[in-house]
C-alpha cells in the first residue's frame, strides 16, 4: 500500500530520472537505513530509460549532517580492532593505489574527490604523487575548491565510492571534469547494482546503504552518464578486489540473520551503532561470525572471482578521459 501511494505521488509530480530524464514510475525496492532502528523505510525507483536506480524523495541538504556523522568515516578502535583495521586498510589502500597509477607518471597532480579521512591521499603521497583531498561533506574542506584550489589543473581525479552519494550526478561530473587538464582522467568507483550480490541480497545487500546512496548504477547506466557529459570511456570493469569481496562477505552475514552490517561497523566504527540491540542478539551475532567467518570469506572470494569474469562483481570501476581539445575551467 505504501509503495502504491509513493508511486502515485511520483507520477503526480512527474519526477524525471536524474541521469537520463526519463520518467520514474517503477518502485524497485524499499529498505531501512542499515544503521538506524528500521522504523523508516526508503524507496528506490528503477529507471526504464537508462537502467539506473534512484532514491525518491531525494535527501535534503539539511539531512547530510545526520547522515554523515563523525563515526561514518571511522572511529577509534581498541588495540585488537586497531591492529586488524590497520592491516586491512593497508591491503585496501595498496589495491587502490595500484588501480589508478598504471601509466601515471610519478609526481602527477591528483585530486581525491570525497576523500573522507584522507587515507587514500596519504597512500598516494607515499607512492610519490602530488595528491590533494577534498570532501564535500567535511566542514573543514567546504571551501577547498574555491580558496585552496588556486586554478590548479589535475592529471587524475579519483572518486572512490563517492559518486553514488550525489543528488545531481551529471552536474557534479561536469564540475569535476572542469578541474582536469585536457587529456586528464577521472577514476569512478561505485557499487555495481547489476552484481550478483545486489540481486541476491536485495535490501540486505551491504552496498545498498539507503539513504546515503542516492543513485545506484549498472555498468551500462554509468557508461551512458559518462558519455552524456562529454567524457570518453577508456575502461570499464567489475574487478575482484577487497571492496567487492568484503561486500559479498557482509551480505552473506546479513542474509544469515545477523544484525545489519555488524562486521563492517565493528571494523570501521569500533562496534555496533544500531540502537536497541540486546545482549542475546549480540552474542548470537558473535557466535555466527566465529563459526562462519572463514567459510564465508572463502566462499565470498571464490564467488567474487568467478562473477568478476562476467562483469557481475559488486564493484564497478570506470576510467574516463577529458577530450584533449577541451579547455580547463576553474570556475567551480
187 and 114, same structural domain? yes
State how far the Cα of 124 lies from the Cα of 97, in Å rounded to an integer: 6
| pLDDT at residue number 139 | 53
200 and 99, same structural domain? yes
State how far the Cα of 73 lies from the Cα of 80, in Å rounded to an integer: 19
| pLDDT at residue number 255 | 95
- Kindly report, residue by residue over 90-100, the tens digit of the pLDDT: 778 888 999 99
117 and 52, same structural domain? no
233 and 99, same structural domain? yes
Q: Is residue 276 in a domain?
A: no
101 and 17, same structural domain? no
Q: Is residue 304 in a domain?
A: no
38 and 105, same structural domain? no
| pLDDT at residue number 225 | 96
Q: Which of 12, 47, 66 is the last residue of a domain?
A: 66
**Number of domains the chain contains:** 2
Residues near 283 by beta carbon (within 8 Å), at least 6 away in sequence: none
Comparing CA positions, the residue from 219, 193, 189 lying closest to residue 206 is: 193
Q: Which three cell numbers stand for residue 101?
A: 597509477
Q: Which of 14, 45, 66 is the last residue of a domain?
A: 66
pLDDT surpasses 50 at 330:
no
- Kindly report, residue by residue over 154-173, the tens digit of the pLDDT: 999 999 999 999 999 999 99
- Kindly report, residue by residue over 173-198, the tens digit of the pLDDT: 999 999 999 999 999 999 999 999 99
- Kindly report, residue by residue over 92-150, the tens digit of the pLDDT: 888 899 999 999 999 999 999 998 888 899 999 999 999 999 887 765 544 444 445 55
Q: Which of 66, 87, 104 is the last residue of a domain?
A: 66
pLDDT surpasses 60 at 282:
yes
pLDDT surpasses 50 at 77:
no
Residues forming a β-bridge with 109: 130
Q: Work out the pLDDT band at 6, boundaries 50, 70, 90.
A: low
193 and 130, same structural domain? yes
- Kindly report, residue by residue over 195-232, the tens digit of the pLDDT: 999 999 999 999 999 999 999 999 999 999 999 999 99
Q: Is residue 41 in a domain?
A: yes
Q: Which three cell numbers stand for residue 60?
A: 535534503
Q: Is residue 99 in a domain?
A: yes
* Vertex 208 angle, CA 206 and 214, to 5°: 150
232 and 103, same structural domain? yes
Residue in the block written with cell 514510475: 25
DSSP 157: E
Q: Work out the pLDDT band at 152, boundaries 50, 70, 90.
A: confident
Tell me the residue ranges of DSSP E strands in the chain.
27-32, 41-46, 53-56, 109-113, 130-134, 154-160, 180-191, 215-216, 232-237, 315-321
Average pLDDT in the chain: 83
| pLDDT at residue number 76 | 47
CATH number at residue 115: 3.40.50.150
First and final CA of the chain: distance in angstroms? 43
CB environment 37-75: b (16+ within 10 A), e (fewer) = eeeeebbbbbbebbbbbbbbeebeeeeeeeebeeebbbe
Range of the domain at 45: 2-66
| pLDDT at residue number 37 | 65
Burial of 78 (0-12, 13-18, 19+ CB in 10 A): exposed
Instruction: Over range 259-275, report the average pLDDT.
Output: 71
Of the two residues 12 and 164, the one the predictor is more confident about is 164
Comparing CA positions, the residue from 76, 26, 30, 78 lying closest to residue 52 is: 26
Give the whole-number percent of the chain exceeding pLDDT 90: 56
| pLDDT at residue number 277 | 60
102 and 61, same structural domain? no
Residue in the block written with cell 557508461: 223
State how far the Cα of 123 lies from the Cα of 90, in Å rounded to an integer: 9
In angstroms, what is the C-alpha Rg of the chain?
20
103 and 18, same structural domain? no
Query: Of 4-18, 152-166, 301-315, which range is least confident?
Result: 4-18
C-alpha torsion sign, points 49, 52, 56, 60? negative
Q: Is residue 52 in a domain?
A: yes
Q: Work out the pLDDT band at 320, boundaries 50, 70, 90.
A: very high
Give the whole-number percent of the chain exceeding pLDDT 70: 77
Instruction: Over range 70-87, report the average pLDDT.
Output: 55
100 and 220, same structural domain? yes
| Helix 169-177 vs helix 219-228: crossing angle, to nearest 10 | 60
Query: Of 204-218, 245-259, 266-280, which range is least confident?
Result: 266-280
156 and 108, same structural domain? yes
| pLDDT at residue number 300 | 98
Q: Work out the pLDDT band at 244, boundaries 50, 70, 90.
A: very high
Q: Work out the pLDDT band at 331, boundaries 50, 70, 90.
A: very low
pLDDT surpasses 70 at 43:
yes
Q: Is residue 168 in a domain?
A: yes
Amino acid at each position: 500500500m505504501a509503495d502504491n501511494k509513493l508511486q502515485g505521488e511520483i507520477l503526480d509530480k512527474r519526477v524525471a530520472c536524474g541521469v537520463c530524464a526519463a520518467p520514474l514510475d517503477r518502485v524497485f525496492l524499499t529498505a531501512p537505513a542499515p544503521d538506524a532502528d528500521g522504523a523508516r523505510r526508503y524507496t528506490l525507483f528503477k529507471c526504464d530509460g537508462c537502467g539506473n536506480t534512484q532514491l525518491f524523495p531525494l535527501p535534503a541538504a539539511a539531512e547530510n549532517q545526520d547522515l554523515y556523522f563523525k563515526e561514518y568515516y571511522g572511529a577509534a578502535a581498541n588495540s585488537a580492532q586497531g591492529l586488524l583495521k590497520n592491516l586491512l586498510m593497508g591491503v585496501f589502500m595498496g589495491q587502490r593505489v595500484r588501480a589508478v597509477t598504471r601509466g601515471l607518471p610519478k609526481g602527477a597532480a591528483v585530486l581525491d574527490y570525497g576523500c573522507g579521512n584522507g587515507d587514500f591521499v596519504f597512500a598516494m603521497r607515499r607512492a610519490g604523487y602530488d595528491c590533494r583531498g577534498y570532501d564535500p561533506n567535511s566542514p573543514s574542506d567546504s571551501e577547498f575548491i574555491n580558496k585552496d584550489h588556486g586554478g590548479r589543473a589535475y592529471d587524475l581525479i579519483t572518486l572512490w565510492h563517492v559518486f553514488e552519494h550525489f543528488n545531481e550526478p551529471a552536474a557534479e561530473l561536469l564540475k569535476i571534469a572542469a578541474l582536469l587538464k585536457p587529456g586528464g582522467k577521472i577514476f569512478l568507483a561505485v557499487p555495481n547494482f547489476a552484481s550478483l550480490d545486489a540481486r541476491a541480497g536485495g535490501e540486505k545487500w551491504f552496498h545498498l546503504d539507503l539513504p546515503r546512496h542516492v543513485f545506484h548504477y549498472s555498468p551500462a547506466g554509468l557508461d551512458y552518464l559518462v558519455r552524456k557529459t562529454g567524457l570518453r570511456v577508456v575502461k570499464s570493469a567489475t574487478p575482484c578486489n577487497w571492496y567487492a569481496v568484503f561486500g559479498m562477505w557482509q551480505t552473506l552475514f546479513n542474509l544469515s540473520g545477523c544484525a545489519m552490517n555488524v562486521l563492517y561497523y565493528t571494523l570501521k566504527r569500533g562496534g555496533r551503532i544500531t540502537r536497541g540491540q540486546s545482549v542475546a542478539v549480540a552474542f548470537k551475532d558473535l557466535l555466527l561470525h566465529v563459526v562462519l567467518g572463514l567459510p564465508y570469506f572463502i566462499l565470498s572470494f571464490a564467488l567474487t572471482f568467478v562473477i568478476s569474469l562476467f562483469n557481475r562483481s559488486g564493484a564497478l570501476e570506470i576510467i574516463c578521459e577529458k577530450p584533449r581539445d577541451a579547455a580547463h575551467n576553474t570556475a567551480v
